[in-house]
Structure 1
Amino acid sequence: MTKILVVGVNTRPVVNSFKKMGFEVYSVSYYNPIDNYPDKSEYLVNDMQHGNFYSNYSEDKLLSLASSYEDLVDNYIICSGIFESENSKIPKWDTIGNTPKKINEISNKYNITKTLQNLGYKTPISKKINNKYQLEKFIEEFGEVILKPIYGCGGVGVIYINNKMLNIEFDLLNRLDVKYPLLAQEYINSESYSLSYINSTYLALNKQIISRSDFGNMYVGNITPYNPEFISKGFETQITQFSELIEILDLKGMNGFDFMVKDGQPHIIDLNPRILGTYETLELSCNYNLAKVLLGAECPKMKEVYHKRVLFANEDFVFDKDIFKKFCTNIDDYIKDLPMNGARISKNEPICTLIYPKVDKDLISDVII
């Protein structure tokens, strides 16, 4: 029997997909939801006292746990949270999907942005910033900007700043929690979208659900598939041409392209060269096990629209699954990534995930989102 190790912050969707196919599946992760069903699991979170993710998460600890499986497993599958740092250790794993080295290369936001521009793809106007004086000039030029760490995937460490904020708080640049050099980009006033691929196969366009705050944006879910009104034949041709990047960049397995729209044109914001947050909504939409697609099977077309929302605590509290029942009679069917009953969840930390079909979207109250 083939043995698989799934590694990342949250491994649940992939673990369960491969278990359904009869693989022997191991998991090394940060979170330990009770609806994750590997043959063996090792994790970092304290089951009953979750604490703060950014304080407690350690890529090195995950990789140390994973190293004990080297002589046991046949293949690795990489989820989010590893090999996305300048100082990441890069093991030589036999992966289903991109290798640790490839993920680390793509995670250099500055280099990949320059590569995309050189290949003729549209991106936000971008500049590597080495100090606060260069940053101040960039903000003065564009008015509204996005700051990103040089390394990383997704929205971790992304900050929004505008001229008005600088005028109100004259020493704001001195107090920013950033590390130079960083990547500064013009702000694009657009909804956020993504494209999902497995190997060279285009799966779907998704709308990303973004929680916006004064200093930045955070991914909290998605709608899959999504058909925005602005899609025209010309625009559709442009976004499907993103698939050429799969071959050009020699990407394998699951990959995603985040983009926004400026002047009617898609501008690539990010590349995600590993298992995506859309994995489960894609799987539900096409009613097919994506583990089979990762192993080479053809993926059916997306059909039903699914919504995903990550729920965050607005105060410290003790988790009890029954708290959701007052919002929706069949909500048990939608709750994923469940912590243990009685677990203490800190303010602003994720509680669980809701994944539900469009037909039931009005049954879920915004009060709990």
Structure 2
Amino acid sequence: MSKILVVGVNTRPVVNSFKKLGFEVYSVSYYNPIDCHSDKSEYLINDMSHGNFYNNYSEDELLNLANNYEDMVDNYIICSGIFESTNSKIPKWDTIGNSPKKINEISNKYNITKNLQKLGYNTPITKKINNKYQLEKFINEFEEVILKPLFGCGGIGVIYINNKMLNIEFDLLNRLDIKYPILVQEYINSESYSISYINSNYLAFNKQIISRSDFGNMYVGNITPYSPELISKGFETQINQFSELIETLDLTGMNGFDFMVKNGEPYIIDINPRILGTYETLEMSCNYNLAKVLLGSECPKMEEIYYKRVLFANKDIVFKKDIFKKYGINIEDYIRDLPMEGAFISKNEPICTLIYPELNKDLISDEFIKRCI
């Protein structure tokens, strides 16, 4: 029996897929949901007191735990949160999907943006900024900007600033404690979308659900699949070009392209060269185990539309599985990433994930989400 180690911030969806195929599956992660069915798991979180993710997460600790399995497993699968920083240690793992070296290479936001521009793809106007004065000049020129760390995937560390904010609060840039050099991009006023692939196989077009705050946006879920024709007629033809990037960038396994729309054209915002946040909605939409696709099988067509919503605590709470019944709805069948019963979860930390079919989108409304988070 083949042995697999899944490594990342949250490994549950992939662990459970490979377990269903009969693999012996180990997990090294930050979170430890009780519905993750690995044969053995090691994790960083305190089961009964979750604390703050940004204060407690350590890529080095995760990697140290993973190294204990080096002589035990046949393959590794990499989820988010590892090999995505400038100081990442890069082991030589036999991976199903992109290697740690490739993930780290693609996670260099500045280099990959410049590479995409050379290849003729649309990206936001981007500049590497070395000090506050350069940043102020860029903000005044473009009026609205996005700040990003030079390394990383997804929305961690992303900040929105406009020149009105600078005029209202003179010392804002000092108060934000920005670490230079930093990447700054023009702000594109658009919904957020993504495309998911396994190897060179197109899986689905997705709409990302983004929570917007004063200083930035945070991914809190997605809709899979989402019709490109809802953006504009013929838009699907434009995004088909992204499949060429899989070969050009020598990507394998699961990959995703995040983008926005400007003047009717897609602008690439991020490339995610590892297991995606859309993994589970893709799997449920096509009613097929994606572990098989990662191992080489063809993926069936996406059929039913599924929603994913990550719920965050709007105050400190003690988790109980029936916590949502006070809102008058029963959603137990849709809850994933379950914490331990009685776990203390701090304000603004994730409680759990909801994954549900479109036919129940009115049951789990935006108003319900707002009351929970």
Q: TM-score, normalised by structure 2?
A: 0.97
Listed as ranges, the matches of 1:33-48 within 5 Å are 33-48=33-48
The alpha-carbon distance between structure 1 residues 276 and 328, as it changes in their structure 2 partners (threshold 3 A), is farther
Q: For residues 167-192 of structure 1, what are the alpha-carbon distances to aligned partners after superposition, in whole Å with 9 as ceiling and x for unaligned?
A: 00111112223211111000000000
Written as runs of structure 1 = structure 2, the 5 A alignment for 1:327-342 is 327=327, 329-342=329-342
SS at match of 1:260: strand
CA contact (8 A) 2:313 2:349 kept: yes
Contact 2:319 2:345 (C-alpha < 8 Å) held by counterparts: yes
Aligned equivalents of 1:185, 1:356: Cα separation in 2: 34
How big is the shift at 1:93? 0.1
3-state SS in 1 of match to 2:361: helix
Q: Which amino acid aligns with 1:240?
A: N
Instruction: Give deviations 1:66-89, integer Å, cap 9, x for gaps.
Output: 001000000000000000000000
> Which consecutive unaligned segments of at least 5 residues does structure 2 have?
none
- Is the contact made by 1:31 and 1:43 (CA closer than 8 Å) also made in structure 2? yes
Matched, 1:276 2:252: no
Matches within 5 A, 1:26-175: 26-175=26-175
Is the CA contact 1:335–1:353 (under 8 Å) kept in the aligned structure 2?
A: yes
User: Cα offset for 1:368?
Assistant: 2.4
How far residue 329 of structure 1 moved from its aligned partner, in angstroms, is 4.7
Q: CA–CA distance in 1 between the matches of 2:226 and 2:163?
A: 34
Alpha-carbon deviation of 1:227? 1.3
User: In 2, Cα distance between the equivalents of 1:195 and 1:250?
Assistant: 17
Which residue of the partner structure matches residue 210 of structure 2? 210
Report the Cα offset of residue 326 of structure 1: 4.0
Q: Which residue of structure 2 aligns with residue 184 of structure 1?
A: 184
Mapped contact 1:328–1:363 kept (Cα < 8 A): no
Alignment of 1:230-245 (within 5 A): 230-233=231-234, 235-245=235-245
Q: Deviations over 1:35-82 (max 9, x none)?
A: 000000000000000000000000000000000100000000000000
Q: Which residue of 2 aligns with 1:368?
A: 372
Match of 2:10 in 1: 10
- Counterpart residue number, 1:292: 292
List gaps (5 residues or longer) in structure 1: none
After superposition, give the CA deviation of every residue in 1:237-268 in whole Å (9 maximum; x if it has no partner).
22111010000000010000000000000000
What's the Cα RMSD here? 0.9
Are 2:324 and 2:330, in contact at CA under 8 Å, matched by a contact in 1? no
How high is the sequence identity, in percent, across the aligned residues?
82
Q: Distance in 2 between matches of 1:147 and 1:288?
A: 38
d(CA) in 2 for partners of 1:244, 1:178: 36
Alpha-carbon distance in structure 1 between the residues aligned to 2:82 and 2:8: 6
Structure 1 residue 327: deviation in Å?
3.9
- What letter is aligned with 1:132? K
8 Å contact kept, 2:314–2:372:
no
Corresponding residue SS for 2:203: strand
- The one-letter amino acid of 1:292's match is K
Q: Which residue of 1 aligns with 2:302?
A: 302
2: CA distance between counterparts of 1:23 and 1:329? 37
| Partner Cα separation in structure 1 for residue 172 and residue 284 of structure 2 | 45
Q: Which residue of 2 aligns with 1:315?
A: 315
* Inter-partner Cα distance in structure 2 for 1:307 and 1:349: 20
2:267 maps to what in 1?
A: 267
Q: CA deviation at 1:212?
A: 0.5
Q: Check conservation: 2:232, 2:264, Cα contact below 8 A.
A: no
| Structure 1 residue aligned with 2:25 | 25
Counterpart contact for 1:110–1:183, Cα < 8 Å = yes
1:230 deviation in Å? 2.1
Question: For each residue in 1:148-182, what CA deviation from the matched residue of structure 2 results, as whole angstroms up to 9, or x when unmatched?
Answer: 00000000000000000000011111222321111
Alpha carbons 1:327, 1:363 under 8 Å: kept: no
1:352 is aligned to 352
What is the DSSP-based 3-state SS (H/G/I as helix, E as strand, rest coil) of the residue aligned with 1:141? helix
Residue type at the aligned position of 2:153: C
Cα distance, 1:363 vs. partner? 1.0
Name the CA distance, whole Å, in 1 between partners of 2:149 and 2:271: 14
Higher alpha-carbon deviation: 118-127 or 320-329:
320-329
Structure 1 residue 330: deviation in Å? Answer: 4.3
TM (norm. structure 1) is: 0.98
1:289 and 1:325 map into 2 onto residues whose CA distance is 31
Q: Which amino acid aligns with 2:57?
A: Y
Contact 1:149–1:158 under 8 Å retained in 2: yes
